[in-house]
Amino acid sequence: MNDESKSTRPAPDQEPQVTRSTAPMWIIVATLALLFFGGLYLDSHSGWFNDRVYAPYDSAEKLEAFQPKSGAGAAAQGKRIYEAVCGICHGNDGAGKPGQAPPLAGSEWVLAKGVNRLAHIPLEGVSGTLTVEGKEWNLNMAAMGAALSDADLAAVLAYVRTSWGNQAGEVSADDVKKVRDAIGGHPQAVTGDQLKSIPE
Amino acid sequence: MKTGFSVFLVAFVALGASWFGLVYAPLHQLGIEKQTAILQSGDTWPPQRTGDATLGLDVYREYGCAACHTRQVRQTGVANQLELISLGQHQAADFKDFLKSLMVVPELNSFSNTLCGPLAQWDGRLPVTLYFGPDDTVIAALVEKLKPLGIKTDARVVATGADISRGWGLRQSVAADYLYDQPVELGSLRAGPDLTAIGAREPDLNWQLQHLYAPRSVVADSSMPAFRFLFEVRPISGRPAPEALTLKAEFAPPAGMEVVPTPEARRLAVYLLSLKTGAPLYEAPYTPATAAK
């Protein structure tokens, strides 16, 4: 035994003592930082604990991106909403009701090139005279589509434009959104002449 | 004990945190599960079970079906698929050239190998898959170019994975699927196939009963034990019973006898028939096959 080791040992007759010593601050900070970023990593790769996000989707955005956008399903949805909202007056066959609602099958308003003009009708309603297929109608239609979501109204318009022999283009939710934004917060029932001034 | 309160506090926080994370949060997220809307349809999922089917779950549990059969489909990926449905007035050979000429479009440029490669050996048969992969911008760009020409395409979202390739389902199982299962019979061993969609794969009640009575009468190399004790083999009195099984000669009872399912067997079969392919849900989207037609 040398002198050095002797000096660090407690004397044999001394009781061992518990001493306090703190862990270096940087270890504590580094551990907490690691835990924090580990937690963030886990969360961000498991959809932030969203109960509707299952693997292989790792975020709500990714799940949203894979929602089917069109197809027969959208047509079925359009048919269902049409029959609940529009069919009462316009008829489930799109033939309309004499004196009350003009036909949609073969209507030049429905078969227009774009849906800009058409979308104003369910979003704002119609009042006054409107000529459909050469026949004049005196109408008073409420804004039946204003309460529907963009996607739902687009599905309805697409259904109307492609059913009962109608063969016009498809409608996207963006088309409807554009019209809704253009109308803003002040929908006002349009007349036939006003409608004609709106681009198709 | 000077530190008594701190010990209590630390233990309380630790146990409270694990209770919150492992009991309360899952219960809050999934315990209040209700029927959910099926994508692009007015219907809800899962469909309510009939009384017999609900009782059938108890039979399923009693005879330990879950020991050899799972009821969970796994999914490893998801893809966007673009199928060519019809060429309109165009010819297949022209279409190949046209597709090549489209590759100058910036959105399509980086996909030229994926798009044109597989079509090189294409014999003109329809439908053919134009694109299968994670990207949907390429599909939107292609559709935009093809649509004005009268070329019909169908864009679909497809779930992928081994279980789905085996035909056990069209998407993975999610919590909503088990809404009416009490208890949930997930199973963990696949000595037999997964039963998630058995009611859609074999929708015939008689098939299900034959399979329970004599598995090899309908699946030649089945390793399932026969559940004959769920059936009554009895002499025909007068006319044969309407619910008697029709069996192949090899498995049929001797002449003058008939095999009649007990109520238990019927319930189990009805429960199996109630297990249908998962409908597309928000949390497990796919495009149903009917969209192609």
- Domain boundaries of chain B, sorted by first residue: 39-74+168-273, 78-160
B219 close to A (CB below 8 A): no
**Chain position carrying tokens 């945190």:** B17
- Whether A142 maps to a domain, the answer reads yes
Poorest-pLDDT segment among A135-139, A181-185, B112-116, B273-277? B112-116
Instruction: Select from A47, A64, A81 the last residue of a domain.
Output: A64
What's the rounded mean pLDDT across residues A168-197?
A: 80
C-alpha–C-alpha distance, residues B57 and B273, integer Å = 11
Token pair 């794969």 is at which residue? Answer: B201
Q: Which tokens sit at A172?
A: 């996207």
| Residue ending a domain, choose from A64, A95, A121 | A64
Q: Which residue has the higher pLDDT, B284 or A191?
A: B284
Q: Is the pLDDT of residue A132 over 70?
A: yes
- A127 — contact with chain B (CB < 8 Å)? no
Question: Residues A97, A177: one domain?
Answer: yes
Residues A39 and A85 in one domain: no
For residue A135, give the CATH number of its domain. Answer: 1.10.760.10
Contact of B288 with chain A, judged by CB distance below 8 Å, is answered with yes
Q: Which residues, including other chains, have CB under 8 Å from residue B102's CB and lie 6 or more apart?
A: B108, B142, B145
pLDDT digits (tens, 9 = 90+) for A49-58: 888 888 888 8
3-class secondary-structure state, position B263 = helix
Longest dimension (CA), chain A: 119
B45 touches chain A (CB under 8 A): no
User: Is the confidence at residue A22, as pLDDT, over 50?
Assistant: yes
Q: What are B26-71's pLDDT values in tens digits?
A: 888 888 888 888 887 767 889 899 999 999 999 999 999 999 999 9
Amino acid identity of A130?
A: L
pLDDT at A195: 78
Q: How many CB pairs under 8 A join A and B?
A: 67
A73 vs B41, B75, B136: nearest CB:
B41
Examine the domain organization and report whether A28 and A120 are in the same domain.
no
Residue A153 lies in a domain: yes
Residues A90 and A162 in one domain: yes
Quick one: A165 and A99 in the same domain? Answer: yes
Residues A181 and B233: their CA atoms lie apart, in Å, by 72
For chain B, what is the mean pLDDT?
87
User: Model confidence at A70, in pLDDT bands (50, 70, 90)?
Assistant: low
Give the pLDDT band of residue A138 (cuts 50, 70, 90): confident
pLDDT for A124 equals 85
Chain A neighbors of B286, CB-CB under 8 A: 68
Residue A3 in any domain: the answer is no
More reliable by pLDDT, B22 or A194? B22
Out of B29, B41, B291, closest to residue A77 by CB: B41
Per the listing, tokens 């006319």 go with: B239
CB-based contact (8 Å) between B30 and chain A? Answer: yes
B157/A72 touch (CB, cutoff 8 Å), yes or no: no
The third-level CATH classification (topology) of the domain covering B39-74+168-273 is Cytochrome Bc1 Complex; Chain D, domain 2 (1.10.760)
Contact B288 A73 (CB under 8 A): yes
Do A56 and B75 lie within an 8 Å CB cutoff?
yes
Residue A54 forms contact with B (CB below 8 Å): yes
Whether A72 has a pLDDT exceeding 60, the answer reads no
Is A49 contained in some domain?
yes
Q: Do B283 and A74 touch (CB under 8 A)?
A: no
Residues of chain B found within 8 Å of residue A53, distances taken between Cβ atoms:
283
Q: Do B285 and A68 touch (CB under 8 A)?
A: yes
Cis ω for the linkage preceding A56 (within 30 of 0): yes
Contact B283, B176 (CB under 8 A): yes
Interface contact A57-B157, CB threshold 8 A: no
- Looking at chain A, the whole-number percentage of residues with pLDDT higher than 70 is 91
Length of chain A: 200
CB contact (8 A) between residue A67 and residue B293:
no
What's the burial of B121, exposed, middle or buried (CB within 10 Å: 0-12/13-18/19+)? exposed
A15 at interface of B, judged by CB pairs closer than 8 A: no
Q: Is the dihedral of CA B147, B153, B155, B160 positive or negative?
A: negative
pLDDT recorded at residue A2: 52
If asked whether residues A142 and A88 sit together in one domain, one would say yes
Min Cα separation A24/chain B (Å) = 23
How many angstroms separate the CA atoms of B138 and B80, rounded? 10
A132 and A180 co-located in one domain: yes
User: Which residues are paired to B231 by β-bridges?
Assistant: B261
**Rounded to an integer, what distance in angstroms lies between the CA atom of residue B253 and that of residue A170?**
61
- Residue B287: closest CA among chain A residues belongs to which residue? A68
Domain boundaries B78-160, corresponding CATH code = 3.30.1390
What is the domain range of residue A34?
23-64
Condensed to tens digits (0 to 9), the pLDDT of residues A108-120 reads 888 888 888 888 8
pTM confidence score: 0.69
**Cα angle A168, A166, B290; round to 5:** 85
Within 10 angstroms of residue B139's Cβ, the number of other Cβ atoms is 21
* CB-based contact B40 A56, cutoff 8 Å: no
Partner A contacted by B155 (CB < 8 A): yes
Side-chain-facing half-sphere of B99: CA atoms under 13 Å: 27
- Same domain? A135 vs A50: no
Residues A99 and A191 in one domain: yes
Q: Does B280 touch chain A (CB under 8 A)?
A: yes
List CB contacts of B70: < 8 A, sequence separation 6 or more: B186, B187, B188, B189, B190, B194, B195, B196
* First-to-last C-alpha distance (Å) of chain A: 103
Q: Record the tokens describing residue A145, joined without a space.
A: 């589509």
Answer whether B156 touches A (CB < 8 Å): yes
Assigned domain for A13 exists: no
Q: Do residue A78 and residue A175 come from a single domain? A: yes
Ranges of chain B with pLDDT below 70: 42, 289-293
Round to whole Å and give the CA distance between B208 and B220: 15
**Which residues of chain A lie closer than 8 angstroms to B44, CB-CB?**
none
Contact assignment for B174 to A54 by CB distance below 8 Å: yes
CA–CA min distance A195, chain B (Å): 28
Q: Is residue A15 part of a domain?
A: no
> Residue-wise over B149-185: b if at least 16 C-beta within 10 A, else e?
eebebbbbbbbbbebbeeebbbbbbbbbbbbebeeeb
Q: Residue A171 falls within a domain, yes or no?
A: yes
Q: Chain B: nearest CA to A128, how far in angstroms? A: 35
| Overall residue count recorded for chain B in this entry | 293
Q: How far is A76 from chain B (nearest CA, A)?
A: 6
| ipTM exceeding cut-off 0.85 for this assembly | no
Other residues' Cβ atoms within 10 Å of the Cβ of residue B269:
26
Position A157 in a domain: yes
User: Residues A91, A48: one domain?
Assistant: no
Phi, psi of B37 (to 5 degrees): -75, 140
* Domain count across chain A: 2
Q: Which positions ≥6 away from B250 have C-beta within 8 Å?
A: B217
Task: Give me A17's structure tokens.
Answer: 């003592």
Per residue in A73-129, pLDDT (tens digit) is 566 778 878 888 888 888 888 888 887 888 888 888 888 888 888 888 888 888 888
Using CA atoms, how far residue B246 sits from B52, B72, B164, B214, in Å, is 22, 31, 32, 11
